[in-house]
Amino acid sequence: MRNYTKKELIEILQDDSINDEIFSLADQIRKEYVGDEVHLRGLIEFSNICKCHCEYCGLRCENKSLDRYRISPKDIIQYAQKAVEMGYKTIVLQSGEDSFYTKDIMCKIIQEIKKLDVALTLSIGEKSIDEYKAYKDAGADRYLIRIETTDRNLYKKLHPHMDFDNRLRCLKDLRTLDYEVGTGCLVGLPHQTIESLANDILFFKEINADMVGIGPLIPHHNTPLKNCKNGSFDLARKVMALTRILLKDINIPATTAMETLNPNGRILALQSGANVVMPNVTTTEYRAKYEIYPNKICINENPSQCRNCIGGKILSIGRTIAKDKGFRYHN
Protein backbone atom coordinates (compact mmCIF):
# COMPACT_ATOMS: atom_id res chain seq x y z
CA MET A 1 0.00 0.00 0.00
CA ARG A 2 1.30 3.46 -0.84
CA ASN A 3 0.72 6.96 0.42
CA TYR A 4 -0.47 9.68 -1.91
CA THR A 5 1.35 12.94 -2.51
CA LYS A 6 -0.58 16.20 -2.57
CA LYS A 7 -0.36 16.26 -6.36
CA GLU A 8 -1.75 12.73 -6.59
CA LEU A 9 -4.59 13.54 -4.20
CA ILE A 10 -5.58 16.55 -6.32
CA GLU A 11 -5.57 14.43 -9.47
CA ILE A 12 -7.68 11.71 -7.83
CA LEU A 13 -10.17 14.23 -6.42
CA GLN A 14 -10.57 15.76 -9.88
CA ASP A 15 -11.05 12.46 -11.71
CA ASP A 16 -14.59 11.13 -11.28
CA SER A 17 -13.91 8.20 -13.60
CA ILE A 18 -12.00 6.41 -10.83
CA ASN A 19 -14.51 7.01 -8.03
CA ASP A 20 -15.64 3.38 -7.80
CA GLU A 21 -12.03 2.21 -7.75
CA ILE A 22 -11.21 4.55 -4.86
CA PHE A 23 -14.35 3.57 -2.92
CA SER A 24 -13.53 -0.12 -3.39
CA LEU A 25 -9.91 0.32 -2.29
CA ALA A 26 -11.02 2.20 0.84
CA ASP A 27 -13.49 -0.57 1.64
CA GLN A 28 -10.78 -3.22 1.24
CA ILE A 29 -8.44 -1.32 3.56
CA ARG A 30 -11.24 -0.82 6.09
CA LYS A 31 -11.90 -4.55 6.09
CA GLU A 32 -8.21 -5.43 6.44
CA TYR A 33 -7.38 -2.97 9.21
CA VAL A 34 -10.56 -2.53 11.29
CA GLY A 35 -12.72 -5.45 10.18
CA ASP A 36 -16.41 -5.77 9.43
CA GLU A 37 -17.67 -4.53 12.79
CA VAL A 38 -19.50 -1.20 12.88
CA HIS A 39 -19.27 0.75 16.11
CA LEU A 40 -22.52 2.38 17.22
CA ARG A 41 -22.03 5.45 19.39
CA GLY A 42 -24.98 6.97 21.18
CA LEU A 43 -25.17 10.70 20.52
CA ILE A 44 -26.62 13.06 23.13
CA GLU A 45 -27.11 16.59 21.75
CA PHE A 46 -27.56 18.29 25.09
CA SER A 47 -27.61 22.00 24.24
CA ASN A 48 -28.13 24.03 21.06
CA ILE A 49 -27.03 27.27 22.73
CA CYS A 50 -23.78 28.55 21.25
CA LYS A 51 -21.67 31.69 21.63
CA CYS A 52 -19.99 31.24 18.24
CA HIS A 53 -20.66 32.88 14.88
CA CYS A 54 -19.71 30.10 12.44
CA GLU A 55 -21.22 31.14 9.12
CA TYR A 56 -22.31 27.63 8.05
CA CYS A 57 -23.95 26.56 11.31
CA GLY A 58 -27.60 26.87 12.25
CA LEU A 59 -26.68 27.03 15.94
CA ARG A 60 -24.73 30.29 15.48
CA CYS A 61 -25.65 32.87 18.10
CA GLU A 62 -27.10 35.26 15.50
CA ASN A 63 -29.85 32.80 14.58
CA LYS A 64 -32.68 34.31 16.60
CA SER A 65 -35.37 32.05 15.12
CA LEU A 66 -33.96 28.86 16.64
CA ASP A 67 -35.82 27.49 19.66
CA ARG A 68 -32.96 27.11 22.13
CA TYR A 69 -32.73 24.42 24.80
CA ARG A 70 -30.50 22.98 27.48
CA ILE A 71 -30.81 19.49 28.93
CA SER A 72 -30.15 19.27 32.66
CA PRO A 73 -27.15 17.30 33.93
CA LYS A 74 -29.55 14.83 35.56
CA ASP A 75 -31.38 14.22 32.28
CA ILE A 76 -28.12 13.92 30.33
CA ILE A 77 -27.09 11.11 32.66
CA GLN A 78 -30.50 9.46 32.27
CA TYR A 79 -30.15 9.56 28.47
CA ALA A 80 -26.77 7.89 28.84
CA GLN A 81 -28.25 5.20 31.09
CA LYS A 82 -30.98 4.46 28.55
CA ALA A 83 -28.38 4.30 25.76
CA VAL A 84 -26.40 1.72 27.72
CA GLU A 85 -29.58 -0.31 28.20
CA MET A 86 -29.94 -0.32 24.39
CA GLY A 87 -26.45 -1.74 24.05
CA TYR A 88 -24.29 1.28 23.30
CA LYS A 89 -20.64 1.00 24.36
CA THR A 90 -19.74 4.63 23.65
CA ILE A 91 -21.61 7.81 24.57
CA VAL A 92 -20.99 11.04 22.66
CA LEU A 93 -21.85 14.32 24.41
CA GLN A 94 -22.26 17.12 21.87
CA SER A 95 -23.40 20.72 22.23
CA GLY A 96 -22.89 24.25 21.09
CA GLU A 97 -20.32 26.26 23.04
CA ASP A 98 -22.62 26.91 26.00
CA SER A 99 -21.03 28.50 29.08
CA PHE A 100 -23.77 27.18 31.36
CA TYR A 101 -21.95 23.85 31.52
CA THR A 102 -18.96 24.88 33.59
CA LYS A 103 -15.89 22.74 34.12
CA ASP A 104 -17.27 21.45 37.43
CA ILE A 105 -20.69 20.61 35.95
CA MET A 106 -19.13 18.77 33.01
CA CYS A 107 -16.77 16.83 35.26
CA LYS A 108 -19.66 15.62 37.40
CA ILE A 109 -21.58 14.52 34.29
CA ILE A 110 -18.51 12.71 32.96
CA GLN A 111 -17.89 10.94 36.26
CA GLU A 112 -21.47 9.70 36.45
CA ILE A 113 -21.52 8.46 32.86
CA LYS A 114 -18.20 6.66 33.29
CA LYS A 115 -19.79 4.62 36.09
CA LEU A 116 -21.84 2.97 33.31
CA ASP A 117 -18.72 1.26 31.90
CA VAL A 118 -18.73 3.03 28.54
CA ALA A 119 -16.24 5.00 26.49
CA LEU A 120 -17.04 8.71 26.47
CA THR A 121 -16.51 11.20 23.64
CA LEU A 122 -16.89 14.94 24.11
CA SER A 123 -17.67 17.41 21.33
CA ILE A 124 -18.17 20.70 23.13
CA GLY A 125 -15.77 23.07 21.41
CA GLU A 126 -12.69 25.08 22.21
CA LYS A 127 -11.54 24.98 25.82
CA SER A 128 -8.38 25.73 27.78
CA ILE A 129 -5.86 22.97 28.39
CA ASP A 130 -6.84 23.05 32.07
CA GLU A 131 -10.44 22.29 31.16
CA TYR A 132 -9.40 19.52 28.78
CA LYS A 133 -7.22 18.03 31.51
CA ALA A 134 -10.06 18.18 34.03
CA TYR A 135 -12.38 16.34 31.63
CA LYS A 136 -9.70 13.72 30.95
CA ASP A 137 -9.05 13.25 34.67
CA ALA A 138 -12.81 12.86 35.18
CA GLY A 139 -12.83 9.99 32.68
CA ALA A 140 -13.37 11.38 29.15
CA ASP A 141 -11.72 9.18 26.52
CA ARG A 142 -12.14 10.99 23.22
CA TYR A 143 -12.61 14.54 22.03
CA LEU A 144 -13.95 15.67 18.67
CA ILE A 145 -13.13 19.14 17.37
CA ARG A 146 -13.35 19.53 13.61
CA ILE A 147 -10.91 21.79 11.81
CA GLU A 148 -13.57 22.21 9.05
CA THR A 149 -10.92 23.56 6.64
CA THR A 150 -7.14 23.91 6.77
CA ASP A 151 -7.27 26.93 4.46
CA ARG A 152 -6.41 29.72 6.89
CA ASN A 153 -8.06 32.48 4.87
CA LEU A 154 -11.24 30.49 4.37
CA TYR A 155 -11.29 29.49 8.04
CA LYS A 156 -11.06 33.15 9.03
CA LYS A 157 -13.95 34.14 6.73
CA LEU A 158 -16.19 31.37 8.04
CA HIS A 159 -15.34 31.76 11.74
CA PRO A 160 -15.64 35.40 12.85
CA HIS A 161 -13.98 36.09 16.20
CA MET A 162 -12.20 32.72 16.14
CA ASP A 163 -8.55 31.97 15.50
CA PHE A 164 -7.14 29.17 13.34
CA ASP A 165 -4.05 28.85 15.51
CA ASN A 166 -6.18 28.40 18.61
CA ARG A 167 -8.02 25.58 16.85
CA LEU A 168 -4.66 23.93 16.19
CA ARG A 169 -3.72 24.55 19.83
CA CYS A 170 -6.82 22.68 20.96
CA LEU A 171 -5.93 19.65 18.84
CA LYS A 172 -2.35 19.73 20.11
CA ASP A 173 -3.45 20.00 23.74
CA LEU A 174 -5.83 17.07 23.35
CA ARG A 175 -3.04 14.94 21.90
CA THR A 176 -0.70 15.96 24.72
CA LEU A 177 -3.32 14.88 27.26
CA ASP A 178 -3.63 11.45 25.59
CA TYR A 179 -7.18 11.75 24.34
CA GLU A 180 -8.24 9.89 21.27
CA VAL A 181 -8.48 12.92 18.99
CA GLY A 182 -11.19 13.40 16.41
CA THR A 183 -11.37 16.09 13.75
CA GLY A 184 -12.84 16.51 10.27
CA CYS A 185 -13.88 18.84 7.50
CA LEU A 186 -16.81 20.16 5.51
CA VAL A 187 -16.87 19.55 1.78
CA GLY A 188 -18.44 22.17 -0.48
CA LEU A 189 -17.66 25.37 1.40
CA PRO A 190 -17.72 28.54 -0.72
CA HIS A 191 -14.28 29.30 -2.21
CA GLN A 192 -12.99 25.89 -1.11
CA THR A 193 -10.62 24.36 -3.67
CA ILE A 194 -9.63 20.81 -4.52
CA GLU A 195 -6.13 21.71 -3.36
CA SER A 196 -7.58 22.75 -0.01
CA LEU A 197 -9.35 19.40 0.36
CA ALA A 198 -6.10 17.59 -0.46
CA ASN A 199 -4.43 19.64 2.28
CA ASP A 200 -7.21 18.66 4.68
CA ILE A 201 -6.57 14.96 4.05
CA LEU A 202 -2.82 15.40 4.52
CA PHE A 203 -3.49 17.36 7.72
CA PHE A 204 -5.46 14.44 9.16
CA LYS A 205 -2.47 12.23 8.48
CA GLU A 206 0.02 14.78 9.82
CA ILE A 207 -1.68 14.96 13.21
CA ASN A 208 -2.38 11.21 13.18
CA ALA A 209 -6.05 11.78 13.95
CA ASP A 210 -7.81 8.85 15.64
CA MET A 211 -11.22 9.71 14.20
CA VAL A 212 -12.13 11.82 11.16
CA GLY A 213 -15.67 12.94 10.37
CA ILE A 214 -16.36 14.24 6.87
CA GLY A 215 -19.62 15.57 5.52
CA PRO A 216 -21.00 17.77 2.76
CA LEU A 217 -22.02 21.35 3.38
CA ILE A 218 -25.81 21.64 3.70
CA PRO A 219 -26.57 25.38 3.85
CA HIS A 220 -28.88 26.58 6.59
CA HIS A 221 -31.49 29.18 5.65
CA ASN A 222 -30.67 31.36 8.67
CA THR A 223 -26.93 31.67 8.03
CA PRO A 224 -24.79 33.82 5.70
CA LEU A 225 -24.31 30.74 3.49
CA LYS A 226 -28.06 30.34 2.88
CA ASN A 227 -27.71 30.88 -0.87
CA CYS A 228 -24.88 28.38 -1.36
CA LYS A 229 -25.40 25.03 -3.04
CA ASN A 230 -25.23 21.73 -1.20
CA GLY A 231 -21.82 20.15 -1.12
CA SER A 232 -21.26 17.18 -3.40
CA PHE A 233 -22.15 13.82 -1.87
CA ASP A 234 -19.71 11.99 -4.14
CA LEU A 235 -16.86 14.39 -3.41
CA ALA A 236 -17.43 14.13 0.35
CA ARG A 237 -17.50 10.35 0.00
CA LYS A 238 -14.23 10.44 -1.93
CA VAL A 239 -12.51 12.66 0.65
CA MET A 240 -13.65 10.16 3.29
CA ALA A 241 -12.39 7.20 1.23
CA LEU A 242 -8.98 8.81 0.67
CA THR A 243 -8.75 9.51 4.39
CA ARG A 244 -9.26 5.79 5.02
CA ILE A 245 -6.59 4.90 2.46
CA LEU A 246 -4.04 7.16 4.14
CA LEU A 247 -5.02 6.50 7.76
CA LYS A 248 -5.78 2.84 7.56
CA ASP A 249 -6.77 1.95 11.12
CA ILE A 250 -8.66 5.00 12.32
CA ASN A 251 -12.36 5.34 13.12
CA ILE A 252 -14.42 7.07 10.43
CA PRO A 253 -18.11 7.78 10.97
CA ALA A 254 -20.75 7.54 8.28
CA THR A 255 -22.15 11.00 9.02
CA THR A 256 -25.85 11.80 9.07
CA ALA A 257 -25.29 14.67 6.62
CA MET A 258 -24.41 12.05 4.02
CA GLU A 259 -27.88 10.56 4.36
CA THR A 260 -29.56 13.95 4.21
CA LEU A 261 -28.26 14.23 0.63
CA ASN A 262 -28.63 10.58 -0.34
CA PRO A 263 -31.25 8.15 1.06
CA ASN A 264 -28.56 5.44 1.26
CA GLY A 265 -25.82 7.84 2.31
CA ARG A 266 -24.66 6.11 5.47
CA ILE A 267 -24.64 2.67 3.86
CA LEU A 268 -22.64 3.98 0.90
CA ALA A 269 -20.23 5.59 3.36
CA LEU A 270 -19.88 2.29 5.24
CA GLN A 271 -19.03 0.68 1.89
CA SER A 272 -16.39 3.33 1.17
CA GLY A 273 -14.24 3.22 4.29
CA ALA A 274 -16.47 4.19 7.24
CA ASN A 275 -16.81 1.96 10.32
CA VAL A 276 -18.76 4.08 12.84
CA VAL A 277 -22.36 5.33 13.06
CA MET A 278 -23.62 7.73 15.73
CA PRO A 279 -27.38 7.28 16.21
CA ASN A 280 -29.13 10.00 18.18
CA VAL A 281 -30.27 8.89 21.64
CA THR A 282 -32.01 12.13 22.61
CA THR A 283 -35.79 12.21 22.26
CA THR A 284 -37.78 13.85 19.46
CA GLU A 285 -38.55 16.99 21.46
CA TYR A 286 -34.92 18.09 21.04
CA ARG A 287 -33.81 16.56 17.75
CA ALA A 288 -35.31 19.11 15.36
CA LYS A 289 -33.96 21.95 17.51
CA TYR A 290 -30.35 20.83 17.12
CA GLU A 291 -30.43 22.21 13.61
CA ILE A 292 -26.82 22.61 12.54
CA TYR A 293 -28.14 22.10 9.01
CA PRO A 294 -31.71 21.66 7.69
CA ASN A 295 -33.57 18.46 6.81
CA LYS A 296 -31.69 16.25 9.26
CA ILE A 297 -32.70 12.62 9.14
CA CYS A 298 -34.48 10.71 11.90
CA ILE A 299 -35.78 13.74 13.81
CA ASN A 300 -39.18 12.07 14.32
CA GLU A 301 -37.87 8.68 15.43
CA ASN A 302 -37.32 7.66 19.03
CA PRO A 303 -33.90 6.33 20.10
CA SER A 304 -34.97 2.68 19.93
CA GLN A 305 -36.32 3.10 16.40
CA CYS A 306 -33.08 4.76 15.32
CA ARG A 307 -30.94 1.97 16.67
CA ASN A 308 -33.10 -0.76 15.15
CA CYS A 309 -33.18 0.99 11.78
CA ILE A 310 -29.44 1.49 11.39
CA GLY A 311 -28.76 -1.91 12.93
CA GLY A 312 -30.87 -3.56 10.25
CA LYS A 313 -29.11 -1.61 7.50
CA ILE A 314 -25.70 -2.64 8.83
CA LEU A 315 -26.66 -6.31 8.88
CA SER A 316 -28.15 -6.04 5.37
CA ILE A 317 -24.71 -5.31 3.88
CA GLY A 318 -23.02 -8.20 5.63
CA ARG A 319 -21.49 -6.18 8.46
CA THR A 320 -21.89 -6.76 12.19
CA ILE A 321 -22.43 -4.49 15.17
CA ALA A 322 -19.37 -4.21 17.40
CA LYS A 323 -19.61 -5.24 21.03
CA ASP A 324 -16.51 -3.44 22.29
CA LYS A 325 -15.82 0.25 22.96
CA GLY A 326 -14.08 0.80 19.66
CA PHE A 327 -10.79 2.34 20.67
CA ARG A 328 -8.34 2.76 17.83
CA TYR A 329 -5.62 0.84 19.63
CA HIS A 330 -8.04 -1.48 21.42
CA ASN A 331 -6.86 -0.35 24.84
pLDDT (tens digit, 9 = 90+) per residue, 67-104?
999 999 999 999 999 999 999 999 999 999 999 999 99
Q: Could you give the number of structural domains in the chain?
A: 1
- DSSP annotation string for 76-104: HHHHHHHHHHTT-SEEEEEE---TTS-HH
Distance, in Å, from the CA atom of 166 to the CA atom of 174, rounded to the nearest integer, reads: 12
CB under 8 Å to 101, separation ≥6 — which residues?
46, 47, 73, 95, 109, 124
- Nearest Cα neighbor of 286 from 1, 75, 115, 24 is 75
- In this prediction, residue 2 carries a pLDDT of 65
Domain CATH for 290: 3.20.20.70
The residue range of the domain holding 182 is: 6-321
Q: Percent of the chain at pLDDT above 90?
A: 98
Tens digit of pLDDT at every position of the chain (331 positions): 468 999 999 999 999 999 999 999 999 999 999 999 999 999 999 999 999 999 999 999 999 999 999 999 999 999 999 999 999 999 999 999 999 999 999 999 999 999 999 999 999 999 999 999 999 999 999 999 999 999 999 999 999 999 999 999 999 999 999 999 999 999 999 999 999 999 999 999 999 999 999 999 999 999 999 999 999 999 999 999 999 999 999 999 999 999 999 999 999 999 999 999 999 999 999 999 999 999 999 999 999 999 999 999 999 999 999 999 999 974 4
Tell me whether residue 329 is in a domain.
Answer: no
Residue 1 lies in a domain: no
Q: How far apart are CA 243 and CA 113, in angstroms?
A: 31
Domain presence at residue 249: yes
Give a yes or no: residue 12 inside a domain.
yes
